[in-house]
Structure 1
């Protein structure tokens, strides 16, 4: 990431092109900036907020959604309003943040049932598949990363559509091997 940004900084300091009033190679600089952002997203995908570590899934999720998903509500069943194993909390946090639509109303529900955390994201039906359920934050890479993270804990992700709503559910065993 840093080499890309260093090249951008150097390109911006060479001065504007007298004909266009833009730095030379502006399109190339924009491309390098986008590459650096993609790399930063990849690196950060494995990092989680300190609040998740200190206080758990529910407070960390509520804090993140308040800043990034203004239209998303969270409902937590009493069974899930407790600390869970770290890996379970991390997978559920990633799933909820990545799958919650940022561009339309949605709801996240959390409950523990039969020693499994059930995290469901409900939103207006966008086709109920990973190609159609997309906005600025939900990409094919996000889908795959969420599925991989949940599957690593012997869990599963399911998509269900009915009427005008779609539900994406992660089921994650609470008792880890």
Structure 2
């Protein structure tokens, strides 16, 4: 049961956050709350000690501080900041966190570049007639960065202790 929770909850939450951000330009608060509650329940069940749990929380606090700064300057949305913070808690102070954040920056840059190209294209008003794509063509709206966070998290999650723990306890 624990292995199934580890393999399912994190990836599904990230996929849902990415999809809802793409469709609505919002990440529902229930996603980071579910990820945080899941971490609080699952971490002790995997044998995580207090010191290691503290390092996971420290990672979240550092990422939150950076995201808060970006949010206060209008560079990042609140949903993106909350999601990044909770994902950082799941990764903890690790090389996986660094790889995740690097991938977020790379995929976020590519996503931003792609959306700017779409918005600058003369066919943008035509593409914007399609419901989902309308958000992508409106220059007044931001970038659905939850997509980059979701992709980066899904790519890096198999390298984490949680995933390895889950796979080793499946049989």
Do these two structures clear the TM 0.5 threshold for a shared fold by scoring above it? no
Q: Looking at CA atoms only, which structure, 1 or 2, has the larger radius of gyration?
A: 1
TM tier, smaller = under 0.3
More RCO (CA 8 Å, sep 6+): 2
Q: TM-score, normalised by structure 2?
A: 0.28
- Structure with the larger helix share: 2
Normalising by structure 1, report the TM-score.
0.27
